[in-house]
């Protein structure tokens, strides 16, 4: 059965303290892996799509990487505005377009 597991569940960082979030996945065939950011009371906001092992993408202080079994979201020198829940999702080759399987998320709090 396809599965997406994110760790840790919650992460508290000091401003400037870099860290990584993990997303482990089990899927029959990976079409794409997605990272989203969700603020309280809001909808998920797209960050990255990764398609194959070894791929990396960067956006400001965020960098996403992908292996055959997991993905990491690295947050470099975070700022308080990076506080959010970060969601990982996979799309399987056996599923229809737009059917994403989400992990439970990692709640990140960055304190000044």
Partner 1 sequence: NAGVMQNPRHLVRRRGQEARLRCSPMKGHSHVYWYRQLPEEGLKFMVYLQKENIIDESGMPKERFSAEFPKEGPSILRIQQVVRGDSAAYFCASSPSGGVGELFFGEGSRLTVL
What span, in angstroms and rounded, lies between the C-alpha atoms of 69 and 97? 21
The CB density around residue 52, as the number of other CB atoms within 10 Å, is 10
Among residues 89, 90, 108, 110, which is the contact residue for partner 1, using CB under 8 A?
89
Question: Minimum Å distance from CB 46 to partner 1?
Answer: 5
What span, in angstroms and rounded, lies between the C-alpha atoms of 76 and 68? 23
DSSP 92-109: ETTSPTT--EE---EEEE
**Segment 13 to 72, residues that bind partner 1, using CB under 8 A:** 31-32, 34, 36, 41-46, 49, 51
Question: Minimum Å distance from CB 5 to partner 1?
Answer: 10
Catalog residues that contact partner 1 under the rule CB under 8 A.
Answer: 4, 31-32, 34, 36, 41-46, 49, 51, 87, 89, 91, 95-105
């Amino acid at each position: 059965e396809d599965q997406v597991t994110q760790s840790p569940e919650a992460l508290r960082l000091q401003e400037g303290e870099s860290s990584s979030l993990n997303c482990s996945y089990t899927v029959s065939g990976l079409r794409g892996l997605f990272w989203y950011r969700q603020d309280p009371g809001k909808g998920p906001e797209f960050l990255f799509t990764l398609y194959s092992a070894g791929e990396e993408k960067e956006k400001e202080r965020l960098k996403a990487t992908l292996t055959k079994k997991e993905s990491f979201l690295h947050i470099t020198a975070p700022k308080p505005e990076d506080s959010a829940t970060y969601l990982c999702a996979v799309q399987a080759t056996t599923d229809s377009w737009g059917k994403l399987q989400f992990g439970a998320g990692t709640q990140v709090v960055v304190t000044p």
